[in-house]
Every structure is written in structure tokens, then in C-alpha cells.
């Protein structure tokens, strides 16, 4: 095992995503495997330094994992020359100020999405990182999920012919918090705290559509708050001021039309919590988080509409499962390894703050489309 160690300041790991996916399943998992493998064969382990507002909570997270570095003093962590990377998974409203501090301290910065609440701040982050000459990246984890990697393999292999449309369904029922605890933090449902499903999910759809199917050229969205009242972590009733569902149509370069529904108020009747159906002239596919099924032109059945006769065809059984053909690994961990290689040996990493700003831009345009009840063209942020 290599003795080379890279200090990583991790701000916001007391949250569910920051702890489970980024600390445990990425950084600590990388160390358990001997570190990030570089192109010359050397391996580099990561030394996490946890930052947060509550020292007791940090200690309860750090000590079971043998982590000795944790503090409530972000400035001190950034001042340590042994810390090379700053990672941010705080609530969105706190991200910009902390990331700008890290950039000013000369740290390479990796952040959860969205990178900011507004496109102006997201662009400011991207420009500040560029001016400082520091490496920067935003989490775009869904690109590294097994289901979407299989879908990308099909696209690259020409399976679909001309891609005509993409239909996406994302969501699940998030309990209101009164008779059952909610699965998401209450700030997600308060606009004043940076909540809302559009700001949360449209940055995902921006990079998924851009990287798999083509740049978004326009958006039309209907956005709503279906459940106006919820109960927070202390059992207190509060007004839900942020949107909890969005129904959007995206026109892509080349003519492909993508329709994506995002909802925290839908009960799941599909195999996975997110699924994309892609239809092309030569074949179709349905991809989720892990699985992907296909139906080629040559094996497409010939349904006939007849509402007076019971349907006997098992349509779902007429699709073929796409094999893994590889060990895909945890999506967050894979992107962490990419970013570390980007920092240490300038390996390619296209998921920059500029890409993050495009995601925030799409979210803003989606909200504008709803407010103005019209289709909105997408230009540069």
C-alpha cells in the first residue's frame, strides 16, 4: 500500500448523502481498496478532515471510523497545507460562501449539486475557480449508475438509430412527517432554505440529457406544490413553500424530445425509483438505476388497439435484459476517483463548475417557464 496521502476537507458529512455516499461509500471505501490508482501504478489514500457546525455530531461520525481530523473551524482546515481538496455537501444555501473560501485558499474544490441557488452565483463560482487556477468539479453521479452506463453503451453502439424521444419518471412518496417520519429533510420543502424539486432535480436532468442525448435547447415546465403543509424533524407543522413536483418537456439539439416528470408526491409503480424510456427508429430501451432492458426493431411486437378484448400479451416480458459486462462500482466512488486523478495527474474531468452552472441555469429556466406559462429557449448561462 502506498504511503502517499491526500488531505480532503469534507464539509457537510453530517447529512445523509454526505455521510453515506461520500464519506463511507466513496472516501473510506477507496482507502479500504488501497487508495486511488494513478496511471503510473501508484496508489493514493485519502485523509478526510470532517467539518461541520456541531463538534459532538462530527465526533460521533468520525470516531467509529478511526477518523481523527474533525473540526468546526473551516478556516483552520483550509489553512492546513496538507489539505489539498475541499468537498462540499452542505445545504445549497451555504455552499457558495464556503466554496469561495476554499478557492481563495488555493484548494481544489469538488461539490454536490446544485453548486448554487442561482445561476449568477453558480457562474461566479466557476469563474472564481478558473481565475484561481484550481481544479473544480460537481457531482454528476447518475452518469455513473449501472443502468445509465448500459444505456450509454447502447447509444455509442448505434443501437437506437435516430433517437426520437426520452421519457423519464422520477420520484416516490415522501411522507408528510406527521404520522410517519419524512425520508427527506424539511429544508427541501422550504424555498427560503434553498429547497424545491426543480432546483434539486433539473441539474441532474441537465447533465443526463446533455451527456447522453444532446444539449437542451428549450424547456416547458409546469411546477407545483401538491402538499402545502408538512411536519419537520421536531414534529412541528410548517408551510411547504417549495415545489414538490415538476412536469417538464425538453427539446434537445437534433430534434429529440425529452419528457421528464419529477415528484415527491407519487407512489411507485415501476421497477426503480427513476426510469428512462428511450425510443429510436431501430430500437428502444428502458434504463433505471441498475438495470436496462431493450427491444430491437426486429423483435418489436405488433399490438392492435381493441378496448373490447382483454389484453393477453405480457408486454414487459417482450424485452431483453442488457448484461452488466463489467463491474460498475458505486457511482459516487467512481466519480471521486476520477476527480482525484484529475487533481493529481490532470486526467480528464468534464464535470466542472461550468457544467454545474448549466444545471442551475436549466432549473432557473424551468421555474421561469412555469411562471410565464411558456416554452423558454435555453442559451448560455
Q: Encode pLDDT of 217-233 as tens digits.
A: 999 999 999 999 999 99
Rounded CA gap, 137 and 140, in Å? 9
**What is the pLDDT at residue 253?**
96
Res 368 pLDDT > 70? yes
**What is the pLDDT at residue 304?**
87
**192 occurs within a structural domain:** yes
Whether the CB-CB separation of 98 and 74 falls below 8 Å is answered with yes
**What is the pLDDT at residue 2?**
54
Q: How does strand 257-263 pair with strand 245-252? A: antiparallel
**379 occurs within a structural domain:** no
Res 15 pLDDT > 80? yes
Using the CB atoms, write b or e for 252-277: b if 16+ within 10 Å: beeebebebebbbbbeeeeebebbbe
- Any idea which of 2-16, 273-287, 354-368 has the lowest mean pLDDT? 2-16
Query: Three-state DSSP class for 69?
Result: coil
| Total domains in the fold of the chain | 2
Average pLDDT over residues 350-368: 98
Average pLDDT over residues 124-139: 98
Task: Mark whether 188 and 319 lie in a shared domain.
Answer: yes
Comparing CA positions, the residue from 162, 238, 159 lying closest to residue 193 is 238
Measured between its terminal Cα atoms, the distance across the chain in Å is: 44
Pull the grid cell for residue 258: 425529452
**What is the pLDDT at residue 112?**
97
Average pLDDT over residues 18-47: 97
Comparing CA positions, the residue from 300, 322, 296, 326 lying closest to residue 313 is 300
Whether the CB-CB separation of 284 and 277 falls below 8 Å is answered with yes
Sign of CA dihedral 23, 27, 28, 30: positive
pLDDT tens profile 37-52: 999 999 999 999 999 9
Whether the CB-CB separation of 237 and 179 falls below 8 Å is answered with no
Task: Mark whether 244 and 107 lie in a shared domain.
Answer: no
Domain of residue 159, residue span: 142-325+361-372
Pull the grid cell for residue 367: 421555474
pLDDT tens profile 184-226: 999 999 999 999 999 999 999 999 999 999 999 999 999 999 9
**What is the pLDDT at residue 311?**
84
Task: Mark whether 106 and 254 lie in a shared domain.
Answer: no
**368 occurs within a structural domain:** yes
**378 occurs within a structural domain:** no
**What is the pLDDT at residue 379?**
85
Whether the CB-CB separation of 44 and 35 falls below 8 Å is answered with yes
**377 occurs within a structural domain:** no
Instruction: Specify the CATH number for the domain of residue 30.
Output: 3.40.50.720
Residue-by-residue DSSP string for 109-168: EEEPSPS-SSHHHHHHHHHHHHHHT--EEE--GGGGSHHHHHHHHHHHTTTTSSEEEEEE
**Averaged pLDDT of the chain:** 96
Task: Mark whether 105 and 158 lie in a shared domain.
Answer: no
Q: What percent of the chain has pLDDT over 90?
A: 94
Task: Mark whether 238 and 304 lie in a shared domain.
Answer: yes
More confident residue, 244 or 3: 244
Task: Mark whether 49 and 182 lie in a shared domain.
Answer: no
**115 occurs within a structural domain:** yes
Task: Mark whether 232 and 262 lie in a shared domain.
Answer: yes
More confident residue, 196 or 309: 196
Average pLDDT over residues 351-373: 98
Pull the grid cell for residue 231: 411536519
Task: Mark whether 198 and 346 lie in a shared domain.
Answer: no
By CB atoms closer than 10 A (0-12, 13-18, 19+), residue 161 is: exposed
Task: Mark whether 305 and 347 lie in a shared domain.
Answer: no
Res 121 pLDDT > 60? yes
pLDDT tens profile 277-305: 999 999 999 999 999 999 999 999 998 88
For the entire predicted model, the pTM comes to: 0.94
pLDDT tens profile 225-265: 999 999 999 999 999 999 999 999 999 999 999 999 999 99
pLDDT confidence bin for 1, thresholds 50/70/90: very low
Say which DSSP state 28 is in.
Answer: I
Q: What percent of the chain has pLDDT over 70?
A: 99
Task: Mark whether 32 and 95 lie in a shared domain.
Answer: yes
pLDDT tens profile 162-175: 999 999 999 999 99
Q: Which residues contact 364 (CB under 8 A, 6 or more apart)?
A: 118, 119
Comparing CA positions, the residue from 320, 80, 272 lying closest to residue 169 is 272
Task: Mark whether 162 and 216 lie in a shared domain.
Answer: yes
Average pLDDT over residues 73-97: 97
Task: Mark whether 301 and 167 lie in a shared domain.
Answer: yes
**What is the pLDDT at residue 273?**
96
Amino acid at each position: 500500500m502506498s504511503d502517499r496521502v491526500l488531505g480532503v476537507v469534507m464539509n457537510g458529512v453530517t447529512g445523509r448523502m454526505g455521510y453515506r455516499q461520500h464519506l463511507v461509500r466513496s472516501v473510506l471505501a477507496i482507502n479500504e481498496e488501497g487508495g486511488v490508482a494513478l496511471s503510473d501504478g501508484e496508489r493514493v489514500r485519502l485523509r478526510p478532515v470532517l467539518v461541520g457546525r456541531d463538534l459532538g455530531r462530527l465526533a460521533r461520525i468520525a470516531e467509529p471510523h478511526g477518523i481523527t481530523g474533525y473540526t468546526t473551524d473551516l478556516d483552520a482546515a483550509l489553512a492546513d497545507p496538507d489539505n489539498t481538496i475541499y468537498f462540499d455537501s452542505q445545504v445549497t444555501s451555504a455552499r457558495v460562501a464556503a466554496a469561495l473560501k476554499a478557492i481563495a485558499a488555493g484548494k481544489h474544490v469538488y461539490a454536490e449539486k446544485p453548486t448554487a441557488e442561482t445561476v449568477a452565483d453558480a457562474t461566479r463560482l466557476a469563474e472564481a475557480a478558473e481565475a484561481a487556477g484550481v481544479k473544480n468539479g460537481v457531482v454528476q453521479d447518475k452518469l455513473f449508475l449501472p443502468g445509465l452506463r448500459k444505456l450509454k453503451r447502447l447509444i455509442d453502439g448505434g443501437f437506437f438509430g435516430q433517437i426520437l424521444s426520452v421519457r423519464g419518471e422520477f420520484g416516490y412518496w415522501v411522507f408528510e412527517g406527521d404520522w410517519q417520519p419524512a425520508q427527506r429533510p424539511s429544508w427541501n420543502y422550504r424555498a427560503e432554505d434553498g429547497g424545491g424539486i426543480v432546483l434539486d432535480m433539473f441539474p441532474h436532468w441537465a447533465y443526463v440529457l446533455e451527456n447522453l442525448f444532446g444539449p437542451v435547447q428549450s424547456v416547458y415546465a409546469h411546477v407545483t406544490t401538491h402538499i402545502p403543509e408538512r411536519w419537520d424533524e421536531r414534529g412541528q407543522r410548517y408551510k411547504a413553500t417549495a415545489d414538490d413536483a415538476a412536469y417538464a418537456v425538453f427539446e434537445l439539439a437534433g430534434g429529440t424530445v425529452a419528457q421528464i416528470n419529477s415528484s415527491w408526491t407519487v407512489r411507485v409503480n415501476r421497477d426503480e425509483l427513476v426510469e428512462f424510456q428511450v425510443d429510436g427508429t431501430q430500437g428502444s430501451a428502458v434504463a433505471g438505476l441498475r438495470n436496462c432492458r431493450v427491444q430491437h426493431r426486429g423483435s418489436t411486437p405488433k399490438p392492435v388497439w381493441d378496448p373490447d378484448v382483454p389484453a393477453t400479451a405480457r408486454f414487459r416480458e417482450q424485452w431483453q435484459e442488457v448484461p452488466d459486462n463489467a463491474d460498475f462500482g458505486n457511482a459516487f466512488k467512481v466519480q471521486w476517483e476520477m476527480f482525484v486523478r484529475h487533481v493529481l495527474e490532470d486526467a480528464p474531468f468534464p464535470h466542472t463548475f461550468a457544467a454545474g452552472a448549466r444545471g442551475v441555469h436549466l432549473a432557473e429556466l424551468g421555474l421561469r417557464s412555469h411562471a410565464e406559462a411558456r416554452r423558454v429557449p435555453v442559451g448560455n448561462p
